[in-house]
Every structure is written in structure tokens, then in C-alpha cells.
Structure 1
Amino acid sequence: MSKFQLSRRQTLAGLSAAGAMSVFGAPFSLSARAQDAQIKAVLGIIRLASQAPSFIAMERGYFKAENLDMEFKYFEAAQPMAVAIAGGDVDYGVTAMSGGLINLAEKNAVKVIGGSLQEEKGLAGQIILASNKAYEAGLTEPKHLAGKSFGITTAGSSFHFMAYKIAKANNIPLSEITLRPLQKVGAVVGALTSGQIDAWAIQPSIAKKMIAEGAAKQIGLVSDVAPDYQVTTVFTSTKNAAEERVKTEAFIRAYSKAIDDYNAALVDKTASAEEVDAIAKFVHKYVEMDLPFEQAKANLVNGAMRINKGLALSLGSVTEQLNWFKDEKMVKDTITSEMLFDTSYVKTI
């Protein structure tokens, strides 16, 4: 009987406390309700190995653990992804800064909130390639690019910026290199393979595959001309950055956990062979699915680049990119760093 009375007292006390918290709006009640319903979110994806943390976070349940019901939406280039984020169809994107993204920031539609892929001395990084035809004709080093053609997806893309950095490092006016906008990465691969363009620079997972297949020749490294280049950034809508802080911080935590897994397995090589296999299998579900696993794994391992811990942002590099876009008259001179970057979410380096 006493046992029943004690249990009853505890129950009543619990109900009383719950009622009080309901009246006074205690955070416990709110957080319990929040945990019951996951927050829907959409992440823009380009099917590249550099997006590996997106796939790891999805497959290992890191998004779900942060109460995010995450959906992937696929794109072929950075600019349309930025437009989708500004329009509210996509919540987050991890890709290169583009002129379109910066112009949307000027309209107070998007914000860069973090950094992802970055060049680092000592790692292969992005590779400068020449077509076999151009290589045989003497394009064996970047200093020979004057008078040659260089593939880009769109004007104002990361490929455009890399062409500028390569030209500047080799004292070549960019006007002496013919830029060929081909819209999609796949189209640039095809054009270089067939000799329709002379040169390109791309992430090592793609470049090393092309070299191994005899489709192109390596003539240099982007890290030699831009050693601290912030290749990709994390961005979201201005509305998300300002009004959805809980959701955005949850996304950053989940993604950061996946970055740690990626860097340990593929960059720092401190993980076990079993862990490397596991990471490769996650990525293979989304990238190079047409290849046998062992070949896709080799491409991933050989092409790994550093992804910034905690999505830290290289403010110097992205500011340089912003200034370049201004100098090239692709964005307005009036666009400021404050319009483009929200540095309240991650560490800046």
C-alpha cells in the first residue's frame, strides 16, 4: 500500500510540475516537443567527391541526430544552386562562390556562413590539366597557356577564378587565354578529352581518373598558385541565417561531424582500413555509381582534399574572391563583405 501511495505521490508531483512548466513556458517542455518533430531541410548537392561529408552525414544519421529531416537536391553547377537557395527551394549549399551568388547577396537574399574545401600545400589539391592534343603541341606547363583555351562552367565560376590565378602566377594577361563556358562539369570533361579545349583545372578525384584513363595530362597544381584558396563555401538564405539559427547550427554540427570522419579517413589517414572502406561505400552510393567499388574508392582516396574542420571560413581567400569579382565588373562595387558573409556561425581563419 505504501508503495502504491509513494508511486501515486510521485505521479501527482510529476503532473503538477509538468503543469507548472506548461504555464510558465519552461524550456524542457518546448525541447521535448521539438524532439518529436524533425525539422525539414534541403541540401543542394553537386555529385562530386568534395561533397563527401554530405553523404556521410546522411548515411551515418548525423542529420537525423540533430533533428533534421534532410533531403538532397541535385545540381550541375554552383550558380543555379544559389538561385534555388535565394528562392527558398533549398536551405543550404556547399559549393564555390560565383558571381550569381554574390549578386544575390547584394539583394539580401543569401549569406556565406562557412568554408569547406580548401587548397593546402602538401596535398594534391586541384590539378591543372592539358588535353592530349594540346600537350603534344607543347602545353606541358601552365606558363604555356597564352593563346590556348581553358574550360569553365560559367563566367564567374570557380573555374574562371582559377584561370585568373593561374594566368596571374605565370604573368599571362587573362585576355590571352580563351575561356570556354560549357555549363556543366561533364561537358568540360568531354571537351578536354576530345581536344575541343586545351586546358582545365579540377578536383583531383576527377583529374586523376582522367589521367589514369589517358584522357588528359597533368601540367600543374592549383595549390602552387593559390595555396590558401577557399574552393567551396557553405551558404544559405539570409532568412535562414537570421531567423533559423537553431536549424542552421544543427546543420553545421551534423556536417562538421562528417567532416571529421572524412579528414581522418582520407586526408590525415588516422582511421582504420575498415573505416576507410565504410566512408568510401557511403560516397559510392552517390558519386561514380557506375564504377566498380574498388575503382571508385581508389579515385576517392587518391583525390582527397582538406575540408575545413568545423566549416571554418578562410576570410582572406573569400574576400580576395569578392574583390576579384568586383574588379572584373561581374558584381557591383557597392557589395561589401558584410552583405555577403555572416561570420557568426563558424571560426574564421
Structure 2
Amino acid sequence: MLKRTLRLAALFALVLLLPGLALAQPKEKVTISALPFISTAPIFIAKERGYFDAEGIDLDIKIFNAAQAVAVAVASGDADFGITAFTGGFFNLAGKGALKVIAAQSREEPGYNFVAYVASKKAYDAGFRSPKDFAGKSVAITTVGSSFHYNLGMLADKYNFKLDSVQMKPVQSIPNMMAALSGGQVDATILPANNALKLEADGAGKIIGWVHEHTLWQLGALFASSKIVKEKRPLVERFVRAYQKGLADYAAAFLAKDSQGNRMIGEKALGLMPALEKWVQPKPSIDTVKIAANYMDPQGRLLVKNIYDQVAWNQAQGMVDKSVNAADFIDLSFIKGHLDIPKK
């Protein structure tokens, strides 16, 4: 009887210890490649607020200076996840089976500044005042097939000028784009708001318009290596949950507007500024964020058909292989309620 009692006591003690043992399990190390922009804010917020830690994820953020480098890092195995804008290079890598799109990042939405058209001071003084007038101008972009290239393509289609009438100068990174404009090497460039506002404040350029005023599109996404989606689905689910919490905080702090359409920036926004100040470059102020916090769906839902359209446009330009099919690399199963899904 005594032995049985002792066995039961030992078993009971073990049961009591199990939760502690579970909590003591090491977090899974995960790497995400990203750009140091406000568009990556949900990741920065989720990391700094411990949302990834709560999901058992030890997140390392690798910062790059161009979207294509973010995608290459995931495709090469240097990162498990990535978050950035779509590019022709991204679509080619995804088409080869390397990447899976799993959630939305930024999109151009009416009334939310994100990407700006910026003229050099010289070009502005000479009369370059509208994005309708890019024909004949020289423009700094990161790479051929970049989101900036696509922005120009959408403008050309909308305002009936030939894309090849624009002299695009690939300079590989956003800091180089800023330097090219401020150094007088180009007439214009296209920049995320935080960078564009800095150039304007420095007197090196003039913002002549915002992308959302002319063309709307699903600019970026959260994506993962196809290998991790296939082999570690529970990890991806946990990652997406943490990301969605960061998205919800971001939306509550920065996207609310009053009846006149003005941003309602208050205590919630101030509470998130330390996370943005730590990661975003150039370092943002609350006034900058009030102007430049871009739209992201609070649940991470994609505008799916628009991604199909982007692939088709890049294929028509000869920048994406004709065999690439968006349906093969978009995984809609991690988030419910994606928008504008093409009918099969």
C-alpha cells in the first residue's frame, strides 16, 4: 500500500512539473529577410512586443536594401521567411518552386501615402510637376523588374506614354536611388514615403505625387521558403499568428481616420514608436509616420487577382518566364478571407 502511495505521489509530482518542462523547451530559431521600412512594421512590432516569443519563435531579422535581395535570401536558404515588395525576380524564383506567398504586406490604398514620385530640384524647377510627365525623364530604380519598374509601367499604361521613353537607371539599392537624385544624376526616382520625405526635407527633391493617387495594387507580401511550408507547417502557422498580432497593433495605431479623413494618431501610435525607431531607416518621427504609415490589411489578406495581373505584366515585358503561374506559389490556407480570388 505504501509503495503504491509513493508511486502515485511521484506520478502526481511529475504531472505538476510537466507545464514547467514544456515552458523550458527552447524556442525555435527562425530568420526573416526584410527591408528597414515602415512597411515591415508589423514584423518589428511583433518582435519587440514578444509575439514571436509567445509562439515559441526566436526571430532574427536580416535587413537588406533592395526587395530582390530579400527574395534571394529566402530562396537560397539564408532566411526562412521574407517580407517585401513583389518583383519580376521574385516571381521567377517563386515559379521555380522556391517561395510561397502566405500573407499580405503593403498595398496601395486610396488616402494612404506609401510610395512617392520624387523629382530632382532641377527637374522640378524646369516644370516636371506630375507623374503623368515621366516620358523623356531619367529615373533611378533599384533593378529591372523591381516594384519601381512596375510603378512606371502602370503609369505608362494609364497615361498612354511608352515605357521605353523613360530612361530607367538601375542603381541596386534605395540609398543609391536617393544619392542619384540628390547628386543630380537623374531627373526623378520613386521612393517609400519615409525616404522621400527626408529628401524633400533636405532640399534635394520634391514630391510630385503618390502612387495611391494614380494606381492601386498589392505591393508586397509575407512569404516563406517552400521547404518550410511543406516540412514545418505548424511553425508557419505560429509565425503567421504572431505576424497578424503585429498587423492588428499597427492598424489600430496608424490606420484609423476621423470623419474628415485625417489620421487619428494617438497613444497607441506613441506606444509603437520605440519599435519603429529601433528598426526603420531613416529613423522616423511621429510626424513622419502620421504622413507615411502605409496601408496593410489588418488581417493580412491578399488582393489575389492583382498578383496574377502583376505576373502577366512582367511576362509581357519578357521579365518573367511564361511558365510561371501565380496559383502555384500563392498559399491561401494560412489566413482566411483573402480578397478578389480569381475563379478557377
Letter in 1 for 2:222: V
Q: Is 1:348–2:341 an aligned residue pair?
A: no
The one-letter code matched in structure 1 to 2:230 is A
Counterpart in 2 of 1:49? 38
Q: Could you say what secondary structure the match of 2:172 adopts? A: coil
Instruction: Name the counterpart of 1:215.
Output: 204
Once the 2 structures are TM-superposed, how far is the Cα of residue 79 of structure 1 from its aligned partner? 1.4
Q: Is structure 2 residue 242 aligned with structure 1 residue 254?
A: yes
Shift of 1:234: 1.0
1:31–1:199 Cα change, 3 Å: farther
Kept after mapping to 1: 8 A contact 2:70/2:83: no
Residue 79 of structure 2 corresponds to which residue in structure 1? Answer: 90
Q: More displaced, 273-282 or 69-78?
A: 273-282
Aligned-pair CA distance for 1:211: 2.1
| DSSP 3-state at the match of 1:223 | helix
Residue equivalent to 2:272 = 279
Q: 1:164 is matched with which residue?
A: 153
Out of 247-256 and 5-14, give the one that drifted further.
5-14
Distance 1:10 1:189, change over 3 A: same
- Counterpart for residue 23 of structure 1: none
Where does 1:56-95 land on structure 2 (aligned, <5 Å)?
56-95=45-84
Partner of 1:102: 91
| Match of residue 215, structure 2, among 211, 226, 229 | 226
- Of the structure 1 ranges 276-285 and 9-18, higher mean CA displacement relative to structure 2 is found in 9-18
* Aligned residue in 1 for 2:260: none
Rounded Cα–Cα distance in structure 2 between residues aligned with 1:32 and 1:331: 50
Paired residues of 2:307 and 2:326 also in contact (CA < 8 A): no
Mapped contact 1:166–1:222 kept (Cα < 8 A): no
Taking structure 1 as the reference length, what is the TM-score of the superposition?
0.87
Q: Cα distance 1:271–1:158, how it changes in 2: closer, same or farther (>3 A)? A: same
What is the alpha-carbon distance in structure 2 between the residues aligned to residue 56 and residue 327 of structure 1? Answer: 38
Offset of residue 213 of structure 1: 2.7
The unaligned stretches of length 5 or more in structure 2 are 258-262, 340-344
Distance 1:315 1:106 in 2: 16
Equivalent residue number for residue 266 of structure 1: 254
Partner of 1:11: 9
Secondary structure of 2:285's aligned partner: helix
In the aligned structure 1, how far is the partner of 2:269 from the partner of 2:5?
51
Residues 252, 310 of structure 1: 8 Å contact kept: no
Report how far residue 195 of structure 1 moved. Answer: 2.2
The question of 1:309 aligning with 2:298 is answered yes
Match of 1:183 in 2: 172
- Give 1:214 shift: 2.1
CA contact (8 A) 2:35 2:70 kept: no
Q: Structure 1 vs Structure 2: percent identity of aligned residues? A: 34
The aligned amino acid for 1:142 is P
Matched, 1:153 2:151: no
CA–CA separation in structure 2 for the residues paired with 1:31 and 1:244: 24
Q: Aligned partners of 1:69 and 1:254: how far apart in 2?
A: 12
CA RMSD of aligned residues (A): 2.7
Stretches of structure 1 that go unaligned for 5 or more consecutive residues are 19-28
CA distance in 1, matches of 2:320, 2:24: 42
Contact 1:138 1:144 in 2 (8 A): no
CA contact (8 A) 1:201 1:222 kept: no
Asked if structure 1 preserves the Cα contact closer than 8 Å seen for 2:101 and 2:224, the reply is yes
Range moving further from structure 2, 328-337 or 195-204: 195-204
Please state how far the C-alpha of 1:17 moved relative to its aligned partner.
8.2
Q: 2:191 maps to which residue?
A: 202
Q: 1:244 aligns with which of 217, 225, 232?
A: 232
If you compute each CA radius of gyration, which structure gives the higher value, 1 or 2?
1
Partners of 2:83 and 2:15 lie apart in 1 by 44
Give me the whole-angstrom Cα distance separating, in 1, the residues matched to 2:331 and 2:31.
Answer: 20
CA shift, 1:325, in A, is 1.1
- Equivalent-residue separation in structure 1 for 2:185 and 2:32 (angstroms): 34
